[in-house]
Structure 1
Amino acid sequence: MARADNTYSRVVAWMKIILPLAALGLLSTLFLLSRTIDPTQSVPIAQIDIELRAQEMGATRPSFAGVTQQGDEILFTALSARPERDAPETLLADTVTARLALVAGTVVDITSARAEMNQNDLTATLDGQVNIITSTGYVVDTDRLNTRLDAVYAESPGPVTAVGAIGTIDAGRMLLHNNSESRAAELLFTEGVKLIYLPDNARE
């Protein structure tokens, strides 16, 4: 009987050693077979301001398209846009591109750093390095431009510099609109217009 007790005690003692070792072996196997995690992958997520994104609703690469009564096509696109917090009808857009495809065949491309669009009035104010290029050969630069989303209309409230077929133009204001009589688009420069005429051979 004493021998049986001794054998039982030895088995229990050995099991106390073998079982923990086996458990450690299983755990080490699990770690070896598990997928390697790159801790740097969590860095971009950590840099995002989650609270700010939750508070500000916005859209990436939105577009606004329309056709005037005369059939002119108007297209506005932006890198991103979000509504004004205190005025939801106003959209604030970044890196804006606009294209006016006129019925007569003229195309006007406009780019700006920012834009403020009012959905109720269908107006858009572009500012920050506004650049206008027409298919008729004019390149116009200004700081600010007031436009419409439902009509061919673009007016600079401040000075503009333009380069065209006849030379360089400096003016206090510029207006692009459809003439009510001829129903054709006009590009007008007003207020202290200064023209530096460049002959064709000089421009070459």
Structure 2
Amino acid sequence: MKYFTLIVLFVLFSCGNKEDILLPKSAVTVVADVQDHSPIYIFFRTKDKDTMAEVNRKNSIISTNWILNIDKRLPLRLVIPEVIKLQQKKREEKAHKNEKAENYYSYADTIGKNLAFIPFTNVYYKMEKPTGTILFFNKNNEILIENTIVKKEKVKEVLIQILSKEQSNNFTLSFNKDLSFGSYLQNKIFIESLNLDLKSKEEYVH
């Protein structure tokens, strides 16, 4: 899946309209290819001074892998409620359920010049504040652990100091609701790179 500009252009043949989505970017490839998939789009819209998220899932098939193509400019407070609805629909489906079908976010791989993907099938989103040991990304995209700002290169070290080496994966991810989806996805890829095998499958947005 090649991309040649920062704007990934999707043509929705069902309505004959051309729609632009600015995908997040990363120099890391988490998943290079997804077979048997259905695309879902969440577009960036504006009306007067308001920003809105518009979902198009006309081509989605429950039994396939879902790829969510989400505009990186959208804030999490608009994106995540829509993602929760989509996840709920797929999880509650009985007639055509495929236990092997996954959900992925797409992004632009700046090294391979391809689309790449990161899975979120097992993530359960909550629009509230978490408890316990929290790794929080604030609206300025700074990382806080136990309310203290930590540099990216020190995150794993600090978690081990707080939780011990054996428990360094026992923390909760939390994100400011006004963080852009583009920043969120880059942070997800960063957490993936730590190879911590997170115990908690919940992510909080508030």
| TM-score bucket (shorter structure) | under 0.3
TM-score normalised to structure 1 length = 0.25
- TM-score, normalization: structure 2? 0.24
- Determine which structure has more spread, i.e. the larger CA radius of gyration: 1
Which has a greater percent of strand? 1
